[in-house]
Structure 1
Amino acid sequence: MPDAAPSALAQLARAHGVATDYWDWQGSRIMVSDDTIVSVLAALGVDASNDAAVLAALEGFAESAWRRVLPRVVILREGWTPWVPVHVPDGSELLARMHLEDGDLRDLAQVEHWVEPRTVDGVLMGEATLELPGDLPLGYHRLEIDYGDQSASTTVIVTPPHLELPGTLKRDRAWGLLTQLYAVRSDRSWGIGDAADLAELGTWGARQGADFVLVNPVHAAEPVPAMEPSPYLPTSRRFVNPMYIRVEEVPEVGYLSAAEHQLVEWHSDDARRLNHLDRLDRDSSWQAKQAALRMIFRTERTHRRRRDFEVFCEREGQGLVDYATWCAIVMDRGLPWEDWPKELQDPRSDAVTAERERLAGDIEFHCWLQWVVQAQLAEAQRELRAAGMRLGVIHDLAVGVHPDGSDAWALGDVLARDISVGAPPDDYNQLGQDWSQPPWRPDRLAELGYAPYREMLRTIMAMAGGVRVDHIIGLFRLWWVPRGRPATEGTYVQYDHEALIGILALEAHRAGALVIGEDLGTVEDWVRDYLAERGVLGTSILWFERKDGVAPRAPETYRELCLASVTTHDLPPTAGYLQGEHIAVRHELGLLTRPLEEEIRADDAQREAVLAELRRRGLLGEKSTIEDQVGALHRYLTWSPSRLIGVSVADLVGDERTINQPGTDEEYPNWRLPIAGPDKVALTLDELMVSRRAKRLIRCVTRRGR
């Protein structure tokens, strides 16, 4: 028997990409409540609060395209020739032209395509049709039309059909290091791993044959205590955390007076004491750096340095001004910004303009910090490439931003208010997840020609040879949870993946970078096929690659377009996983959903199945140490066709502790642990680079043949 006709509310939801039902992790169909649908539609600016409002919104949606002269944005792949509808008063003379990104101008002709005129708001409207030429170059163009004494325009974005791998990767695979940058401290660090440590680690890795270093997101955090430890909950994804500045490598340090040099030394001495702590202290590290950097900022800059800074500020535009303004006001008034006077909550208000004048010096300081940190990270990338790496740094892109952060303040209604991103219940978290991050509004992104998204990608690509997109399924759909509701009472909202993936490919193409999508978990096959078609690599974790829930998949069956690794930051390092560290921690924190004995039995069975396969294939003897097993697992990975193999820095040193325990906040020191050896004593980058254990594991990955 066919399903009943959808209700008016369901029709309205689907028209706006809001799911009214979904299939859960157990294969059951779940119907989304009307209350959730109404709340999500409200966050999209659609009133569905009663039957009359729903019918009015449906009628308005049916006519919305006719009320727009041109579509919000036109996305196409290179070589496509799409038709673009143009809505103008019936009988209007039409002149259309394309302003290309390089300044060229092209006239466009109409296509013979009759559409019945429609009366909209009392005006008889006609629909003309334009066909875009198939030879438009890649990039961001502007379609403009004149009709009568009026005009209209829209953004046209031409994206690459397929993102090609860098030349040498087409012929040969690459391996590289995976690490949390802040956790890799050298003797010269100020308590936190920084851009210079990244360059040092990377150039050492290059000498071992590594071709990349994949690091955690380096997005901006709060400029005041307490700094959010999770790199996946930043205040801004467009800007960078100045915590990663190496103070001594700021060029202006060379022009300090002797007394000022001494002050920098005092600050560095205080900060370097933090290197001996077994937990990272971001706030103390940043306090010391900030004091030194403010002094350096006040130092006279050379003419060419002044010019470079001015060019940077001009290029970054209003977005940089907004970010720096938010930082300055936060340092003056604190967080959350929703507690500020109402007039300061709007970045375009007269009150904020007045604050910009009052805090001009602090705002310039925060702009300067961005210039310095982005330059140092870009220099690290140049050093890694010069050292012989084929890719260099691969930066991680977080899913979203902190609701109290600068993006949430500066981007206005581009982010959905009273909504948080999360995930529905699954096998690992049967209560669902709420990540406390306001999502992009797909309609507003399109209206802005995806400018905020493009600008964010551009910053990352300028410092990298690649980008890893966390939870890449979020570029297709995201789980929206209305404020005040549990994560179980959310629903999916669709995004224009053709636009988001296409722009990602375009920016990567221009930067000469590759893209890795973190596609773990519940991802439909068609999504993985689509990503592969567009040239986006997937992600494979050895422990998750199973044939029947227990038995490991043969590495020869892994995907080729893929980054394969033994572990990930949401699991313990391999030595810890082999000893059941993840079960012990979850039990201690009360996170297990089954009795401890049952969890141990299931984990032992899965782990033993993998080790048995290693023994069967001659990679492991009957008696083996944990270090032997770690090496054999990595050797097993090299039998896969995967283009990239990742080796965790934590595995190089034999660390056993979990970096992040999902489902916890303060109960576990998430994102606060430096690298350490099996004895849990913190290790420095200097010790890593002379570690025999590290060299032995690297040989497992670089050794040729079976």
Structure 2
Amino acid sequence: MGRLATLAALHGVATVHSPGPDVAVPVPDETVVAVLAALGVDASTDEAVQDALTRAESAAASRLLPPTVVVWTTPDPGTSGAVLPPALPRALADLPPGTGLRVETERGDTVEWPSLDAPPTDAAAPGPVSAAPEGRSWPDLPLGVHRLAAVAADGRTAGAVLVVAPREVPQPPPRTHGFLVQLYSLLSTRSWGMGDLGDLAELATWSGRELGAGFVQINPLHAAVPGDPTDPSPYRPSSRRFPDPVHLRVEAVPEYAYVTGQGIALLDGLLERAAGLRAAVLDKGALIDRDAVWQLKREALEIVREVPLGPGRRAAYHHFLAEQGQALEDHATWCALAEVHGSEWRAWPSGLRDPRSAETGRARHELIDRVDFHSWLAWLTDEQLAAAGRAARDAGMAVGIVHDLAVGVHPDGADAWAQRDAFAEGMSVGAPPDAFNANGQDWGLPPWRPDVLAASGFAPYRGLLRGLLTHAGALRIDHVMGLFRLWWVPAGADPTRGTYVRYDAEAMLAVLVLEAYRAGAVVIGEDLGTVEPGVREELHRRGVLGTSVLWFERDWEGTGRPLAPESWREDCVATATTHDLPSTAARLTGEHVELRHRLGLLGRPLAEEQREESAEVADWLGTLTRLGLLPADGGDEEEQIRAVYRFLLRTPARMVGVWLPDAVGDRRPQNLPGTWDQYPNWRLPVADAEGRPMTLEELAASPRLHGLMSVLRPSVVN
């Protein structure tokens, strides 16, 4: 191994990647040098490589502790502490005899551990001590993310983050079913041109009470980067920490009822315009226009804000501000500055590009009313998210609302500004070439620096998870493999010339498990595509469910035929499709192939693609028939879709997800990967088999929907 490769390995940067079995592709040296530079390591010359390598090897040799130490334990439900682990973590067991430790817990307590050969003391909160197999003792520490300090007998010192986490996340019931839906696409007769949090509460209440659904899984509700037009993709947000107020049901804001005088007339006018937006989408075939919806809602909310908060409401708002702290202040400040200077913060006056500068502090003071406005919006949205979660629980849902976490954020957004030191400058997350995309992918999302995350005690990550899990029954993590490694692409480089950068997966998982345990939430990982060996096994070990999609589940190492239902994994959400794939009706009829042909997206002649697709569908229909799930004559389209979901019920999957558009025969995908302006991604309402948009009220009354749901719950009237 050369010096550059050795240096890269010490910083978790790959110099070779494997796109397939027994295939090793070297990473270009210029890529390795650029990635190391983004991690603060100069490898631009041979001399610089040698200097950096000498420093890194010296630091590694003298280091007492790794950056993060993880303790997996069993929580004691009767206390805030944890049942002792069976042994010391390896990082502590390997410390020299006589090393003293001190733990400062996240709640402010201090546990002194004068020597590994002596029991620890905690004058503030003494706890039991257990002898580890190595003969060394271990303190009964509470769950949390703490600070650990070590002092060796020879005088060397070290510090580390100490994560004490439960062994696994909470689990769903043995079997439950629910809907998967993009919230913006679900319009009711009360929507302002796109689905909102009021519609989510209605869907949860209706499906939970009438259909026995155990969950509703939705797209990310993260705040978007404002633009002209705004990027409609929910997977390229400004902030993952705070939701977008475009999802608010304005009439549900308590102060709305107390608007008086001219404000009433203005609100009535806005309601009329909102009805026009809704009618354009539902009756005239218009696309969902997020910007137009937000313009109306913003005007209405400005009016509602003139109503003073009552004492109780004011106290609740101030509590929210205190609870969210610096993170909300930064987010609201970015929103206020973006109103003045535009959303591309790198083009702002130089002093404003730093969230901690004196110039930014002065601007925040000058714009304090707008900062407060955006903080208030975050509070209102949080309240309605809480209401939707309560509606799901009150409807008897076993899991509740499944929120979605995008893999990253827009480089011009609020998070990239507020946490700029935590993101790798000049890098973008993507995917290497694989069997599905020979050119690789660049998603345009800056990656977190693993070293900065560890040094901060994973503060940005913890805050993100805590915010999302507050009102979630479960959390879906997009591209969950990113907890282990991410494909970094240098700015301006082709995606094929990127490389993998490894994260401290044990620490990332420990923080995830800890926050999910505290929230009582299930965790689902989107683990489709290329997954390195060992990842699914480790996720399973921590209780994280995977994602299994019917059309991808084949005996790839044997016959290549559809995988028998009993051979599916249990720890997954099983579904027929996703937001990035054709609906089941489009798959069965082959309409998705024709759509891709019309858009010039096929890599082979249409007839060849159609033959292959027809053979695959016939293979699945034959399987469904042999299993007795489909009539011998093949049945019609509705019968075939019901058979698909009967098959999913035959699997041991803990959760079965019904793509809501499948229930009414919708043909159109919500997102067509590989397109931008060629297809209306993220802007289509749920529609019936003829392409006619359907309201939530029509969906709830649809015989076709009830026919499908009778498969999942026989007591539902067909």
Normalised by the length of structure 2, the TM-score is 0.90
In 1, Cα distance between the equivalents of 2:176 and 2:39? 43
Deviates more, 1:254-263 or 1:184-193: 254-263
Distance across 2 between alignment mates of 1:592 and 1:358 = 54
Question: 8 Å contact 1:223–1:331 — kept in the other structure?
Answer: no
**Where does 1:338-417 land on structure 2 (aligned, <5 Å)?**
338-417=346-425
* Paired position in structure 1 for 2:270: 267
2:194 corresponding residue in structure 1: 192
Secondary structure of the corresponding residue to residue 232 of structure 1: coil
Q: SS at 2:242's partner residue? A: strand
TM-score (norm 1): 0.92
Give the length in aligned residue pairs.
678
TM-fit CA distance, 1:152: 7.6
Separation (CA, whole Å) in 2 of partners of 1:506 and 1:292: 40
The letter of the residue matching 1:679 is E
Q: Which amino acid letter does the alignment assign opposite residue 648 of structure 2? A: L
Alignment-derived partner of residue 571 in structure 1 = 581
Distance in 2 (CA, whole Å) between partners of 1:393 and 1:467 is: 8
The 8 Å contact of residues 99 and 116 in structure 2, kept in 1 or not, is answered as no
Alpha-carbon contact 1:321-1:363 (below 8 Å) kept:
yes
- 2:506 is the alignment partner of 1:503: no
Find the aligned partners of 1:406 and 1:83 in 2 and give their Cα distance: 39
Q: Cα deviations across residues 486-524 of structure 1 (Å, max 9, x unaligned)?
A: 111111111111011111111111101000111111113
**Counterpart-to-counterpart distance in 1, 2:109 and 2:24:** 52
Conserved in 2, the CA contact under 8 Å of 1:66 and 1:87?
Answer: no
Partner Cα separation in structure 1 for residue 437 and residue 297 of structure 2:
39
Q: Relative to 1, partners in 2 of residues 1:83 and 1:640: Cα closer, same or farther, differing over 3 Å?
A: closer
Give the conservation status (yes or no) of the 8 Å contact 1:99–1:142. yes
Match 2:36 to one of 41, 50, 57: 41
Distance of aligned partners of 1:624 and 1:302 in 2 relative to their CA distance in 1, 3 Å threshold? same
Q: Secondary structure at the match of 1:133?
A: strand
- Which of the residues 134, 138, 141 maps onto 2:143? 138
CA deviation after TM superposition for structure 1 residue 69, in Å: 7.8
Stretches of structure 1 lacking an aligned partner (at least 5 in a row): 1-5, 114-128
- Would you say the 8 A contact 2:225–2:343 is kept in 1? no
Aligned equivalents of 1:131, 1:157: Cα separation in 2: 19
Q: Distance in 2 between matches of 1:424 and 1:474?
A: 13
Unmatched 5+ residue regions in structure 2?
74-84, 119-133
Residue matched to 2:25 = 30
> Is 1:664 aligned with 2:669?
no
Quick one: structure 1 residues 437 and 532, their matched pair in 2 at CA, closer, same or farther if it must change by over 3 Å? same
**Which segment drifts farther, 411-420 or 549-558?**
549-558
Match of 2:9, SS? helix
The answer for the alignment partner of 1:3 in structure 2 is: none
- Matching residue of 1:125: none
Out of 308, 311, 324, the residue aligned to residue 303 of structure 1 is 311
Q: How far apart, CA to CA, are the structure 2 residues paired with 1:131 and 1:226?
A: 62
User: What is the aligned partner in structure 2 of residue 627 from structure 1?
Assistant: 638
| Residues 1:544 and 2:544 aligned together | no
On the 8 A contact 2:223/2:237 being kept in 1, the answer is: yes
Work out which of the residue numbers 226, 238, 241 in structure 1 matches 2:244: 241
CA RMSD of aligned residues (A): 2.5
Structure 1 counterpart of 2:429: 421
- Which residue of the other structure, out of 479, 497, 512, is the alignment partner of 1:489? 497
Please tell me whether the aligned partners of residues 551 and 606 of structure 1 are also in contact (alpha carbons under 8 angstroms): no
Equivalence map 1:150-229=2 (5 Å):
154-166=160-172, 169=173, 172-206=174-208, 207-229=210-232
SS state at 2:670 partner? coil
User: Identity over the aligned pairs, expressed in percent?
Assistant: 47
Question: In the TM superposition, what are the counterparts of 1:583-598 in structure 2 within 5 Å?
Answer: 583-598=593-608
For 2:328, the equivalent position in structure 1 comes to 320
What displacement does 1:18 show? 0.8
Given that 2:67 and 2:159 are in contact with CA atoms closer than 8 Å, whether structure 1 keeps it comes out as: no
Find out whether 1:471 has 2:479 as its counterpart.
Answer: yes
Which amino acid in 1 is paired with 2:88? T
> What CA distance in whole angstroms lies between the structure 1 residues aligned with 2:301 and 2:687?
29
Q: Give the whole-Å Cα distance in 1 for the aligned partners of 2:655 and 2:692.
A: 31
Distance 1:477 1:587, change over 3 A: same
The answer on 1:334 being equivalent to 2:342 is: yes
**Kept after mapping to 2: 8 A contact 1:232/1:398:** yes
**Counterpart contact for 1:323–1:407, Cα < 8 Å:** yes
* Conserved? CA contact 2:189–2:695, under 8 Å: yes
Q: What is the match of residue 77 of structure 2?
A: none
The answer as to whether partners of 2:99 and 2:114 remain within 8 angstroms in 1 is no
Q: Which residue of 2 aligns with 1:118?
A: none
Partner of 1:123: none
Kept in 2, the 8 Å contact 1:82–1:131? The answer is no
Match of 2:130 in 1: none
In 1, Cα distance between the equivalents of 2:393 and 2:269? 34
Q: Provide closer, same or farther for how the CA distance between residues 600 and 134 of structure 1 changes in structure 2, counting only shifts above 3 A.
A: farther
